[in-house]
Amino acid sequence: MTVFNALVIPKICNAVLRSYQNSWPRDLVSLYVCSPLDFHAQTMNWDCGYRNMQSMISSYLNHDSTVRDQLFSSGILTIPTLKDLQNRIENAWLKGYDQIGGMQLEYSLYDTNKWIGATEVVSMLRSCKVRACVADFDFTAGQCDLNTMVQIVWEYFESRCEFRKKNKPDDQCIDSSFVAPLYLQHQGHSRLILGVEKWADGNIKLLILDPQMRRAIQFHQRTGDEANILRQGIGTHGLNSKSKYQIAYLAEKSLYQTESDFSKIIVDELRHPRLRFI
Enumerate the active-site residues: 48, 189, 210
- The phi and psi torsions of 166 (rounded to 5 degrees) equal -65, -35
Find all residues with CB under 8 Å of 260, minimum gap 6, and list them. Answer: none
* Residue 221 burial (CB count, 10 A): 7
Helix 82-94 crosses helix 48-63 at what angle (to 10 degrees)? 90
- The phi and psi torsions of 173 (rounded to 5 degrees) equal -55, -45
Q: According to DSSP H, which parts of the chain are helical?
A: 12-22, 48-63, 65-73, 82-94, 99-104, 118-127, 146-167, 173-176, 213-221, 227-230, 237-240
∠ at Cα 264 (260, 265), nearest 5°? 120
